Chains A and B, each alone.
Chain A
Amino acid sequence: MSALALLGLLVLAGQENRLWQLELELRGACEAVRLDCGPDGETLLVGPFGPGEDRSLSVPVPVRAPLGREELALVPLPRAELLGAGPDASATVVAWSARQPVDELLAAGPRAGLSLPPAPRARPTAGLPELLAALLAGAFLLRLRARLLPTCLVAVASAALVLGLARARGEGADVVTLVQWREGSATALSIRRGEGELELGGPGLEVSPAGSPIRIEWEARGRGRARSAGGSLFALATTASPALRPERNGAERLEPVWTRTPEGRWRRHEAWELGAALGSGRDGSPPGWLAGALPPGRGILVARTSRGAWLRCLGFPVR
């Protein structure tokens, strides 16, 4: 019943799982197997596979199943195509797997109110340190230009410095992790968002804009990446809800932390140490993408872990 409720919510919210598993029988030698899902995308099962290969594999494919898990059997199976195949090689798509990874998410219950982080993110730009370093380097180079060796040294050293500083602006910007749960629930929903590319992990995969083609590169040892040109990818998984109560932080050190009262007033708290009570804080709002589209009349907690992941609790008992 809860699965049906979630199914309805998913359809209403336009959230659509794009990670469905099928059974594949592979015989003989080949470099890779392409599973063509038409306009929905494809999965490339990466080899190489040896001449004596005879194995059954469970492989994820990014097909669209508009009616969800219950009607997956109605969705046509993807077509298998061997790449770099030997003379006796063959690949047969047998059927959809009886047990789908998304079953784990369905079993966790409805996720009403647990929204995906919005897709747009700021483009990395050069920061003040590298801009100042480049300007200073220019001033030195203009002054030194008559002497070749010092000019070379300053140019190369400053180039290496600004390259390293500017490049670091992109670290962590591509993947954002948000763990969301409702107060009192033992299970939280973990969402990893990647722009254009995301390592697969967890039982669910969604894409924005909905319906964008996805390409999965999958290794037979059970690892893979999803790519969607110009789209945002979301990997969904379940995890245990962090043990956070206003009187005690039983999870990990958090900084910064924001809370919202049921009346809608946001407060910013600085570091919330492990084992400590939550401080009183001062007025201040969290980043907009975490503060938007929240249910009114309920307490909210937003926090960041030392690993860079975001936490959001709906119904947090704010004092």
Chain B
Amino acid sequence: MGPGRLGALYLAALAVPLAEGLLDLELALGPCAALALLPWLLLAPAPRRPDAAPGGALTPALLALPPLALGAGVDLARGAAGGTLALAAGTTWLALVLWTAAAERAPRARPAAAWYASVWFLLVPFGLALRVALSWVPARGGAEPGRPAWLALDPLLFLHRWGRAEGLAELRPAECAWVLLGAGLALLAARAPAGRGVEAT
């Protein structure tokens, strides 16, 4: 990612604390820390073109740190539980590191790029679509709709779960494990060995 896009992501990650602090708006119903991570998680894991210039695998994650810390500080000032916030934000940040590393590594070899693109498509956009589709299925007998932990394989769904109002209180540790598993799968896909006759660049 070029400096222009990184700068835009950085400003987007700061947008809510900036608007709330300077314009006296009330925007965040849930944790600001989740909103600070959202722009990075939306774009950093996206598959790169084969001819994309390599960027540092850690750069987006390091740039995400100050906005994340600002959001977490505001959340703590508003009374968020420190331990749960640290678990949720730390896990998401770690998932961001792994997904970015995978996205940076994948275009170096054709099968890895294809594998990574498939895993990204299944776990990120398809995971979101699946969640929306499941939410439309009527619950049997008027029961509350379920909350399968494995849907946290999608980092955006995981972020959405703890980023809602009262989301931190409902977060389960198993969901933290699932989001890291998803990031691990992406990293494995990005390390797929080159096949016969495929040229690694």
Residues of B near any A CB (own CB < 8 A): 3, 6-7, 10-11, 14, 17-18, 20-22, 24, 26, 56, 58-59, 62-63, 65-70, 72-74, 76-79
Contacts and interface: CB of A to CB of B under 8 A. Distances in A.
Contacts of B78: 123-124, 170
23 contacts: A123-B78, A124-B77, A125-B21, A125-B74, A126-B21, A126-B74, A131-B14, A131-B17, A134-B67, A137-B66, A138-B63, A141-B62, A142-B6, A148-B56, A155-B65, A162-B69, A164-B73, A166-B73, A166-B77, A167-B76, A169-B73, A170-B76, A195-B79
A160 B66 CA distance: 8
B56 A170 contact: no
Contacts of B74: 124-126, 166, 169
A159 B65 CA distance: 6
A57 interface: no
A196 interface: yes
B63 A141 contact: yes
Interface string A152-177: 10011011101111111111011000
A151 interface: yes
Contacts of B17: 125-126, 131, 134, 166
B20 A126 contact: yes
Nearest to B18: A131
**Shortest 3 CB-CB contacts between residues of A and residues of B:** A166-B73, A170-B77, A159-B69
Summarize A's interface: helix, strand, loop or mixed: helix
A149 B109 CA distance: 28
Summarize B's interface: helix, strand, loop or mixed: helix
A127 interface: yes
A83 to B, nearest CB: 22
A135 interface: yes
A139 to B, nearest CB: 9
B63 A145 contact: yes
Nearest to B64: A155
Contacts of A158: 65-66, 69
Nearest to B14: A134
A131 B18 CA distance: 7
Contacts of B14: 131, 134-135, 138
B59 A160 contact: no
Contact of A145 (B6, B11, B67): B6
A141 B3 CA distance: 10
A76 B58 CA distance: 63
B69 A151 contact: no
Contacts of A124: 74, 77-78
B79 A167 contact: no
Contacts of A174: 79
A176 to B, nearest CB: 15
Given A125-B20, A131-B17, A169-B77, A138 B56 contact: no
Given A127-B21, A155-B63, 12 more contacts: A123-B20, A123-B26, A125-B20, A126-B20, A128-B21, A141-B66, A142-B63, A152-B58, A159-B68, A167-B77, A168-B77, A169-B77
Given A131-B17, A163-B70, A170 B63 contact: no
